[in-house]
Every structure is written in C-alpha cells, then in structure tokens.
C-alpha cells in the first residue's frame, strides 16, 4: 500500500487534485493510479422520489493510464437507486442532453490532461467507431 511519502502516491494525489478541479465528474473512490472513473448524472428521472432513491440517465467514462496516454471508453445508461450504473438506451427525449454533457466534459478533459498533466487522450480500441466522441 503506498504511503503519503511514496512518489507514486504523491503523483496520484496531484492527478486527483487536478481532475477534481474539472467539476463533479471524478469518482475518486473508483479511481487508482492506473485508472480513473468519471460520470455524469445528467437527467433525473423522478425528482419527486426521495433523493437517495432517485435514478438518473447519464454516462460514465473509464480512463486507463498507459504510459503517457489515457485510453478512454464510455457508456450511456441508467444510474439506479442502488447507486450503480447499468448500460441502457437513453430515451430519445433525453438523448441529446446526455450526449451534450459528455461532449462538454470531453472538451475540458482533453486540454486538462495535455496542458496540466502532459498526458494524451485517445479512444480505447473497445469503443465502436460510431461511439467515439466527435472531438476525439
């Protein structure tokens, strides 16, 4: 287990601090020195439900660090009341807003990685060409 004086831990904490500054996207507890997870709860399905039981449509993005390259892949779906993501087709009335929120995140993530962390961002080979973000 890395200690607070371990250079790898210090570098990881620096990355976490920079990525947290992007907004509420980083899932720090699901990230580690080689992989980071981000998500966005874009559309609340029912605001009348108790907050801890609300479900959302949105996206999640996983980014693996391989040398100085971050390979990403993402999914669209449902964040359920148990607090887990499920791959699910986002209903048409909400689809554009969910995609727009992912593109907006990508537009701040890519320059952040490049300018502040000297890392490149590229799509993972597991992404279908149709799913690659337009800015990629």
Report the C-alpha gap between 85 and 2 in whole angstroms: 29
> What average pLDDT values come out for the chain (136 residues) when binned by 10 residues?
63 92 94 96 95 96 95 96 95 96 96 95 78 50
Cα distance between residue 113 and residue 136, in whole Å? 13
β-bridge partners, 43: 57
Measured in whole angstroms, the distance separating CA 124 from the mean position of its chain's CA atoms is: 14
**For the whole model, what pTM was predicted?**
0.86
Q: Which domains are present in the chain?
A: 7-131 (3.30.310.230)
DSSP state for residue 131 in the 8-state scheme: G
Q: What is the pLDDT of residue 127?
A: 78
Q: In 10 A of CB 89, how many CB atoms?
A: 10
In whole angstroms, give the CA distance from residue 3 to residue 59: 33
Q: What is the pLDDT of residue 8?
A: 72
State residue 35's pLDDT score.
Answer: 96
């Amino acid at each position: 287990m890395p200690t607070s004086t371990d250079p790898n831990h210090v570098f990881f904490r620096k990355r976490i601090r920079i990525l947290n500054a992007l907004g509420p996207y980083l899932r720090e507890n699901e990230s580690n020195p080689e992989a980071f997870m981000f998500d966005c709860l874009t559309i609340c399905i029912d605001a009348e439900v108790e907050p801890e039981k609300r479900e959302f449509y949105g996206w999640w993005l996983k980014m693996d660090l391989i040398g100085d390259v971050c390979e990403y892949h993402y999914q669209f779906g449902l964040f359920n009341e148990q607090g887990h993501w499920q791959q699910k087709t986002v209903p048409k009335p909400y689809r554009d807003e969910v995609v727009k929120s992912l593109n907006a995140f990508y537009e701040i993530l890519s320059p952040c990685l490049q300018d502040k962390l000297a890392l490149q961002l590229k799509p993972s080979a597991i992404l279908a060409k149709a799913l690659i973000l337009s800015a990629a």
